[in-house]
Amino acid sequence: MSAVVRTERRGMVMTLTIDREARRNALNADVAAGICAGLDASEADRGVRAVVLTGAGDKAFCAGGDLQPNAEGTPFTIDAADPRHYVAGLIRRMEACRLPLVARVNGHALAGGFGLVSGCDLVVAREDALLGVTEVKVGLFPMMILPALLRTVPARLLMEMCLTGEPITARAALADRIVNYAVPAAELDAKTDWLLGRITDKSPTGIRLGKQALGKVREMPVDTALEYAQFMLANMARTEDAREGFAAFAAKRAPQWTAE
């Protein structure tokens, strides 16, 4: 596994930790590759029911892109032979993840780091963590993470954040549901574990297929979405998890999920 992204499985949860504390867990191609590899490994392990993404230490979740200028003075270049950007690949991989992806925001999440937070399904954050896009302060705009930001941040607030470059606290972000929970630092792990407990005891098949459907329905016109939803619901009802769920409900017992 990647030297800059640590993986640790605890029970049904895989935790991916960006391990560049000295660089405030800055995002680069190696970090992106490490997160993608961690998601691949998590999905390949049938015992994993959820993934947590976090940063090392208590200062930064991820302080954005690792701005190391090249000889021309810019950290951003496009290789004509391979124009794919590692951030685009990472956002796509996070979007395609079939497991619930929870951001444990242990510190500031700025620029690309805020993009990572926005790319997760659920967010538990330290209430004093700063969230924002600071690119305009160095003459840029948060181009690569805009697709993720547009799905999680209200339009007026996103425009203000992009134009001013000023971050907000997770406590303030809670009002706009940019984060699910904002808690004191001492309560971060307990709240994250509490949320994971409410996820991992549910049907893994229902969640996996449901996440897949949600991503597709979001991009469809209403009529197309309704046709697709009907098809997916009928197929989901045939799964082993659905049969077990109905049986457990009728017998008034806890379901025993098989993830099939």
Q: What is the DSSP string of 132-152?
A: E--GGGGT---TTTHHHHHHH
Token digits of residue 150:
């547009």
- What pLDDT digit, counting tens, does each position of 140-192 carry? 999 999 999 999 999 999 999 999 999 999 999 999 999 999 999 999 999 99
Angstrom distance (rounded) from CA 174 to CA 195: 16
- The CATH number corresponding to 5-200 among 3.40.50.2300, 3.30.420.40, 3.90.226.10, 3.10.20.70 equals 3.90.226.10
Range name among 79-88, 179-188, 196-205 with the lowest pLDDT average? 79-88
Q: What radius of gyration, in Å, describes the C-alpha atoms of the chain?
A: 19
Q: Is residue 66 very low, low, confident or very high in pLDDT (cuts 50, 70, 90)? A: confident
Q: DSSP assignment, residue 248?
A: H
pTM above threshold 0.85:
yes
Angstrom distance (rounded) from CA 53 to CA 243: 32
Q: DSSP assignment, residue 250?
A: H
SS3 231: helix
Range name among 17-31, 40-54, 57-71, 183-197 with the lowest pLDDT average? 57-71
How is 184-208 classified by DSSP, letter by letter? -GGGHHHHHHHHHHHHHTS-HHHHH
Angstrom distance (rounded) from CA 190 to CA 185: 10
Please check the confidence at residue 105 and state whether its pLDDT lies above 70.
yes
Beta-sheet strand order (sheet of 130-132):
60-62, 108-110, 130-132, 168-169
Q: Which residues form the catalytic set?
A: 135
* pLDDT at residue 122, rounded to an integer: 98
Burial category of 34 from C-beta neighbours within 10 Å (exposed 0-12, middle 13-18, buried 19 and up): buried
